[in-house]
Amino acid sequence: MKTVAEFAIAYEQLLGPDGKPLGALPGFATDAAEMVKMYRMMVLCRMFDAKAINLQRTGKLGTYAPCTGHEATHVGVGAAMRTEDVLFPVYREYGTQLWRGVTLTEILTYWAGDETGTNFSGPVEDFPWCVPIGSQVPHAAGAAMAFKIRGQARCAVAYVGDGGTSQGAFYEAVNLAGAQRLPVVFVIVNNGWAISVPSSAQTGAQTFAQKGIAGGVPGVQVDGNDVIGVRSVMEAALERARGGGGATVVEALTYRLSDHTTADDATRYRSAGELEAAWKIEPLPRTRAYLESLGAWNDTLEAAMHAEHTRIINLAVRQYQERAVAGVEAMFNHLYANPPAALAEQRDCALRNGPGKAH
Amino acid sequence: MAKITLVEGVNMALGRALADDPDVVLIGEDIGINGGVFRATAGLQEKFGDLRVQDTPLAEGLIAGMAVGMAAQGLKVVAEIQFMGFLYPALDQIANHMARMRNRTRGRLTCPVVVRMPHGGGIHAPEHHSESLEVLFCHHAGLRVVCPSTPARAYGLLLAAIREPDPVIFLEPTRLYRLAKQDVADDGKALPLDKAFILREGDDVTVVTWGALTHETLQAADQLAQEGINAEVIDLASLSPIDHDTILDSVSHTGRLVIVHEAARNAGLGAEIAATVAGKALYDLLAPIERVTGYDTVMPYFALERAYIPTVARIIEGVRRTLQG
C-alpha cells in the first residue's frame, strides 16, 4: 500500500511562561501601546470575573461562567479580528466581546437572566452567547457563506470548546467550510475540561486541531496562554480566509482555572496538583513580564490600572443594578415582527398577573 | 396564466422570489442540477447560479444551522429538507436558534428563513418519507407553520412565507404535488399567512382540515351533500398561528365540528382546535367534537399507509357521529 494522504499539525508559541520571546515576534508585539492595551484587557477580564463570582455568591447575579485562565486566548482573538468580522461565541469569551465593544453591564445583565443583555453593543451582527454546545458553529459557516455569496472580504470566527468538538454540528460546519472554501476560523478553546470530563475523554485524536483535516480544513495549535502567539496565528488565519484561502481550525491550549460555572465545584473531579501546575503557566504574569522587558510597564502602572479597573467594574455593576428591568410584556414583544392576534390574550393575562415573586 | 401542479406552483414562487429579490438564496440536498427529488427547484440553479441555488453537504442539522447564520446576515434563505422523517437533526437549530433569535436578541438579529419540506404519506415511499410532524413546529413560539393545499395556495403562501421577516415552516403535501392542475398566474401576489380558507360553505357541520386531506374531505362533503348534509370545509392553511376566528364563526352556525388530520391523534393539532372551540364556543355545539386522524401508531410502511391515512369513508363516519342524536 502507498500513502495517499498525510498531515502535520504545527504548534505556535511566541511567548514562554517566563515572558521571554521564543523567536522573532510579529510587528504588533513590538508596539508597546498595543501590547499594553491587550494586557489591560486581560487583567480587566480577570478582575471582572472575580467581581461577577462575588455577585453570584451574594445573590446578586445568576449562574455565571468564569473566564479566568482564558484571557490570552480571548483577547488575542479579539485583537486579531476586524470590526466587520462576525463573532460566534460560546458563553465565556468576554475578552473577545469586550474588545469588540460589548459592555460589562451587558454581560452581567445576560447572566442575570435578562434577554436585554443579549441585545448588546458592539458589532451589531455578532451573535449572542450560545448555550446548546456546538450549535453555534454552523451559524458561523452560514455567515461565511453569506460573505462568499456577496463577495465580501469578511470573516466569521466561531468559538467551540474541546467538548463542543464532539458534537456533529462542529463536524458538519467544518466540513461545509472545507467543501466551499468559506472565510471562517474555528477556534477550539481546549481548556482541559468539559465540565467534569477531561479533554482526553473527548477524542482519541492526538490534537483537536486535526479535527479539521478530515473536512479539508487545515489545523494549527497555539499556546492559548500566549497572547502574542494567539493573535499571530489568528491574524494569519483571518488574512488567509479574507483572501479566499479558506477556513482554519485553531486549537488554543489553555486551562480553565475556575470552576465550569458558579454552579460547579471542580474539586470534585480534578486534582489540586493539576490546578497548581496550570497556575504556573497562566497568561497574565508572562504578558506583564514581557511588557516590563519592553520598558512599558512597572508596579506604579500596575497599581494605577487596578484602581482604574476597579472603578470601571464598580460603575458597570452599579449600572447593572440600577438598570430598568424588563416588564412582563417583554416576553411577548419580540417573538414576531407581525405577532399573531391570539398572543394578545396571553399578553393581557401576563400583564394582569404582573412579574411574580421568587419563593 | 398556466395550468400547473402544486409542485410547479412551489417552483414558480421560488423562481419569482429569486428573480425579484437578490437576497433570496435556496439551499438543500439535490436541489441544484437535480432540481430536488420532487422537482420543486427544477431549472432554478441553471437560471440563478450555484451560489443562489446551492446543494449543501448531506446534513439536515447543518442546513438549518447555516440558514441561521445566513439569515442573520440579511439573506432570505429557503431551505429544503428532502423528507420530513429526516428533519429531526434540524430541529435543534430550528427550535433553539431559528425560532428564538429575534426574541433573545430583542430584535437585534432575525432569522427570515423558510424551511420547506414534504408532508404526509400516500406516495408509496420508503420508511421515514411519509411523516406528518407539524406539531413539532407548532409548539415553538417564533415559528409560523403553513401547509398549502392547491397550486395557487402553494404559490401565494410560499411567496408570503419568503417575504415574512420571521421563520416559516412550509409543509408541502406530497400526495398533492402532482394530483391536480390549476390555473395560476405568476403575478407575484402573496396570500395572507394567518388566514384559513373556507373551501365550501355549509350549515350542518364544520370540517377543519389541511394539506392533502382537503382532497378527501371535499370528496366526503360531496357525498354527504347528496344526502342533504351540507358540510362547511375549512382549509386551515396556517397551522401556527391558527385562525380560530374562522373556525369559531363557522361552528357558531353549524353547531358541529369534525377535525381531520393525517398526523397521529395524541397531542395532535386537532386537540388544540377542539380545546379552543370547547373553551370559547361550548354552548354553540350541538354534538361532541369529532377527530378523524392518523392512528397513534408509527406511520406504517407503505403497504399499510392507506389504512393509516384518514379515508373519505372515515371522514363521513366522523361527520355522521356528530349528527346522531
DSSP A51-96: HHHHHHHTTSS------TT-HHHHHHHHHHS-TTSEEE--S--HHH
CA distance A335 to B81: 24
Q: Which domains does chain A have, with CATH numbers?
A: 10-326 (3.40.50.970), 328-359 (no CATH)
Which residue reads 437578490 in cell numbers?
B22
pLDDT > 90: what percent of chain A?
Answer: 96
If DSSP codes are grouped into helix, strand and coil, which group holds residue B140? coil
Residues B181, B205 contacting (CB under 8 angstroms):
no
- Distance from B66 to chain A by nearest Cα, in Å? 4
- Distance from B273 to chain A by nearest Cα, in Å? 13
pLDDT in tens, A32-86: 999 999 999 999 999 999 999 999 999 999 999 999 999 999 999 999 999 999 9
A266 has a pLDDT exceeding 80:
yes
Q: How far apart are the first and last CA of chain B?
A: 49
Tell whether A345 is within 8 A of chain B (Cβ).
Answer: no
Report in angstroms the alpha-carbon separations of A166 from A8, A204, A269: 21, 11, 20
B73–A146 CB contact, under 8 Å: yes
Omega prior to B241 cis, within 30 of 0: yes
Q: Which of A336, A338, A349 to mutate to test the interface with B (most CBs of B within 10 A)?
A: A336
B140 is catalytic: no
Closest Cα to residue B256, out of B321, B302, B212?
B321
Question: Chunked in runs of 10, what are the mean pLDDT values of chain B (325 residues)?
Answer: 95 98 98 97 98 98 98 98 96 98 97 98 93 96 98 98 98 96 97 97 98 98 98 98 98 98 98 98 97 97 96 98 88
Three cell numbers written together for B14? 421560488
Tell whether A158 is within 8 A of chain B (Cβ).
Answer: no
Q: In chain B, what residues touch A135 (CB-CB under 8 Å)? A: 65, 92-93, 96-97
B72–A143 CB contact, under 8 Å: yes
A286 is catalytic: no
Three cell numbers written together for A253? 491550549
pLDDT for residue A355: 86
User: Comparing B2-184 with B197-323, is the CATH topology the same?
Assistant: yes
Closest Cα to residue A89, out of A194, A187, A203?
A187
A118–B56 CB contact, under 8 Å: no
The whole-chain average pLDDT of chain A stands at 97
Tell whether A139 is within 8 A of chain B (Cβ).
Answer: yes
User: Chain A residue with minimal CA distance to B100?
Assistant: A335
Count CB pairs under 8 A between chains A and B.
Answer: 138
**What kind and span of H or E run contains A124?**
none
Set A231, A256, A286, A309: catalytic member: A256
pLDDT in tens, A83-115: 999 999 999 999 999 999 999 999 999 999 999
pLDDT for residue B1: 80
User: Is the ipTM, as predicted for this complex, more than 0.90?
Assistant: yes
The stretch A216-228 carries a mean pLDDT of 98
User: Chain B residue with minimal CA distance to A88?
Assistant: B69
Residue A359: pLDDT band (50, 70, 90) is low
Q: What CATH number does the domain located at B2-184 have?
A: 3.40.50.970
Set A260, A286, A288, A309: catalytic member: A260
CA distance B138 to B314: 26
Does domain B197-323 bear CATH number 3.60.70.12?
no
- What is the domain partition of chain B in residue ranges? 2-184, 197-323
Backbone angles phi, psi at B292, to 5 degrees: -115, 110
A309 has a pLDDT exceeding 60:
yes
pLDDT for residue B183: 97
Tell whether A152 is within 8 A of chain B (Cβ).
Answer: no
Which residue reads 392518523 in cell numbers?
B294
Beta strands of chain A (E only): which ranges? 10-12, 86-88, 156-161, 184-190, 193-194, 197-198, 219-223, 248-253
- Distance from A294 to chain B by nearest Cα, in Å? 42
Backbone angles phi, psi at A50, to 5 degrees: -60, -40
pLDDT for residue B325: 61
- Which own/partner contact pairs does B41-47 have at CB distance under 8 Å and 24+ positions apart? B41/B11, B41/B14, B41/B80, B42/B11, B43/B11, B43/B15, B44/B11, B44/B14, B44/B15, B44/B18, B47/B15, B47/B18
Q: In chain A, what residues touch B104 (CB-CB under 8 Å)? A: 115, 118, 128
pLDDT for residue A358: 62
Nearest CB among B57, B73, B104 relative to A179 is that of: B57
